[in-house]
Amino acid sequence: MKKQIIFLSAVLLMLLSTNVFSQDWPQFLGPERNSTSPQKNLLREWPESGPEVLWTVPLGIGYGGPVVKDGKVYILDRNDEEGDKMCCFDLDSGEELWKFEYAAAGSVMFPGSRSVPVVDDKHVYSCGPYGDLYCIDLESHKPLWNVNIWTDFGGDVGNPPSDETDGGAGGFAARGNFPIWAISQNPMIYGDLLVLASQAPEAGVVAYNKNTGELVWKTPNLGNENYVSPTVIKIHGEDQIVMVISSTNPIGRRDAPQTMGSIVGIDPANGEILWEFEGWECHITVPSAVDAGNNKILATGGYERGATMIQVEKNSDGTFTTKELFTTVEFGDQTKPPLLIDGYFYAQYGTNNRRDGLTCMNMDGEIMWKTKRDPDFNKGSMIYADGLLLASDGAKKLYLIEPDPAGFKPLASSELLTEQAAEGMASRFGTQNWAPLALADGKLLIRDQSRMLCVKVAE
């Protein structure tokens, strides 16, 4: 009997250990799509030389981040002259296990990849910058189905312009209705659905059967050119898909009707529009909406809106109404949604016209502090785990930070990333190491413009 107890205790300990150290990062912004990880035992200090880099692999230019499932890393790489490439690496060694490539040549301003895949037990899904949505089988490494979320719904093919006088692939030359900065969708799995935003003339958010590729539902086009990926937020106890839609781009689309953007709630079962807040004005919106709790939603952006908090109220007849709680230009994020930690929001507020750095705001829109340029944080990525922030600064450094509304509290930093000179109009924006991070099994995955690194950040 004693031996049985010892054996069962050992098995229980093994299972607990596996639960603690086998977290996946299966989609954009992690398990809950909110940049938060269950990882424990994070290193509280780093050696002077920085955290240990376990391996590196070469990649093309791009802004798309990795995902992790069952010890394997998936990332959509790209060569603009040829097309997209789904790569699979071993998390422990960095060995390339397989790849799948397809033709999708073309280039826009800020060339390269721009989206994060999503992976489940059987498939990995990705959407390229020209709208190519692929479902790839994890065993055969071959596509089970593919569609185009843009041209299938009336979108113009985004061929690069040949007239270099308009900036070539880096300018605002005519591509019809194709988005100026290409399609930047991070797919989302919801039950048996694969959900992402088309925003082509004949569709807004679209949902496919994730196993067959059959279109299950689509909303009408929701408005202006957009770069936001959908997210799920609890509203009065029920899941709703929330989208933030840009206002008209007054520079890139100066001939289009100049209209306001919106924040929209959608029924994930059938695509029905449940409510719409029409007071959002940010002409290049990228960050997903943030669940602020208590039926509140925070929308953020650059260009130069900042942030708006809205309240969604449910009426006695089951319909919904919205109201604005506050708007501030003193808090925002141009490329990533803020993190909500213990009632405070943290974001990297670097835009074309602002350098507010890492910024902290309370639930009422009051700014607690800003780092400004000391240190500068500009379009980097952050993950909250084990009470700490792991944050890239968008340039060369990785930081370990204790989040505190009383002030900026860095614990360590290390210059891990490299610079790579951009070309054309994009060269005005400096180092562009803007890809989302991923954290799994104590390993942080981070990319710059030429490679992906795996960094040991936990014991």
- For residue 412, being part of any structural domain is answered with yes
pLDDT, tens digit, for every residue of 82-129?
999 999 999 999 999 999 999 999 988 889 999 999 999 999 999 999
The answer as to whether 438 is a domain residue is yes
User: SS3 of 211, please?
Assistant: coil
Which CATH number fits the domain that encloses residue 316? 2.140.10.10
What pLDDT score does 6 carry? 45
Nearest to 362 by CA among 307, 288, 418, 439: 307
* Mean pLDDT computed over 297-317: 95
Q: 9: Cβ–Cβ under 8 A, 6 or more apart, which residues? A: none
In this prediction, residue 18 carries a pLDDT of 37
Q: What is the pLDDT of residue 175?
A: 73
Give the domain extent around 209: 24-456
Distances (CA, A) of 88 to 26, 91, 101, 333: 13, 9, 12, 30
Please provide the average confidence, as pLDDT, over all residues in the chain.
92
Q: How many domains does the chain contain in total?
A: 1
Question: Does residue 2 belong to any structural domain of this protein?
Answer: no
β-pairing, 36-37 vs 382-385, is: parallel
Q: Is the pTM of this model over 0.85?
A: yes
CA angle 176, 181, 184 (to 5 degrees): 110
Measured between alpha carbons, how far is 426 from 422 in angstroms, rounded to an integer?
Answer: 6
The answer to whether residue 358 sits within a structural domain is yes
* Residue 13 belongs to a domain: no
The answer to whether residue 11 sits within a structural domain is: no
> Residue 31: is its pLDDT beyond 70?
yes
| Mean pLDDT in residue range 255-276 | 96
| Structure-token pair, residue 74 | 């998936």
pLDDT score, position 160: 62
Burial of 353 (0-12, 13-18, 19+ CB in 10 A): exposed
- Does position 271 have pLDDT exceeding 90, yes or no? yes
How many whole angstroms separate alpha carbon 238 and alpha carbon 267?
Answer: 9
Query: Pairing state of beta strands 261-266 and 273-280?
Result: antiparallel
- In the structure encoding, which two tokens stand for residue 254, read together? 């100066």
Q: pLDDT band for 304, please (50, 70, 90 cuts).
A: confident
* Residue of 83, 277, 77, 106 whose CA lies nearest to 180: 106
The residue-averaged pLDDT of 243-249 equals: 96
Residue 298 predicted with pLDDT over 90: yes
Give residue-wise pLDDT tens across range 347-369: 999 988 899 999 999 999 999 99
Least confident of 3-12, 23-32, 208-217, 412-421: 3-12
Q: Nearest Cα to 449, choosing from 413, 395, 376?
A: 395
Q: For 72-85, how does the pLDDT look when each residue is reduced to its tens digit (9 = 90+)?
A: 999 999 999 999 99
Say if 78 falls within a structural domain: yes
Between CA 388 and CA 10 the distance in angstroms is 31
